[in-house]
Amino acid sequence: MERTLICLIVIFLGTVAHKTSPQGPDRLLIRLRHLIDSVEQLKIYVNDLDPELLPAPQDVKEHCERSAFACFQKAKLKSANTGNNKTIINDLVSQLKRRLPTTKVTRRQKKSIKCPSCDSYEKKTPQEFLERLKWLLQKMIHQHLS
């Protein structure tokens, strides 16, 4: 009698497990892809950006990717005073500054690693800044998917 009951429970769980839908949308991946799209768009308007040099992390160490991304977000990327396309640029820049969704892995990592401060990274031209930001995002996407 008990054996039959256990069999029933196992089969019932099998039915339920199979019918369970896959995990909800991967918010972090969607955001990172959207950020790359925004960076590609900003590259088109690079001549309308304020030419001031901005701290742009490079050679980012393992597990410091989020911290490096936060440094990119803090940078004062903005359109030039005399620039055209001000609205589009400001809109794209505000997209970059939105907070990234966290995952279980990143929450664990946040506390243990000591990463370089934003001041220690060299300042680069807006063109270089955007290229390096894109490379960091590509690295983060690949890491997240691996």
Partner 1 sequence: MTFMGVDTRCLGLFLLCTIIGHSLEIKVNPPQDFEIVDPGLLGYLYLQWKPPVVMEIFKECTLEYELKYRNVGSDNWKTIITRNLIYKDGFDLNKGVEGKIRTHLSEQCTNGSEVKSSWTETSYWISDAGSLETRIQDMKCVYYNWQYLVCSWKPGEVIHSDTNYTMFFWYEGLHQPLQCTNYLQDNEKNVGCKLSNLESSDYKDFFICVNGSSKMEPIQSSYNVFQLQNIVKPLPPEFLHVTLENSMEIRMKWSTPGGPIPSRCYTYEVVVREDDISWESATDKNDMKLKKRTNDSEELCFFVRSKVNIYCADDGFWSEWSEEECWEGYTAPDSKIIFLLPICFFFVFLLLLLCLIVEKEEPEPTLNFHMDLNKQVYSYEETLC
Which residues of this protein are in contact with partner 1, per CB under 8 A?
A: 1, 4-5, 7-8, 11-12, 14-15, 18-19, 29, 32-33, 36, 40, 53, 58-59, 62, 119-120, 122-125, 128, 134-135, 137-139, 141-142, 145-146
Q: Which residues of 46-75 are buried (b: 16+ CB within 10 A; e: fewer)?
A: eebbeeeebbbbeebeebbbbbbbebbbeb
Residue 84 or 117: the one with the smaller Cβ distance to partner 1 is 117
Residue 35 or 89: the one with the smaller Cβ distance to partner 1 is 35
Q: Rounded to the nearest 5°, which phi and psi values hold at 73?
A: -65, -35
Min dist. Cβ of residue 72 to partner 1 (A): 16
**Cα separation of 51 and 116, whole Å?**
25
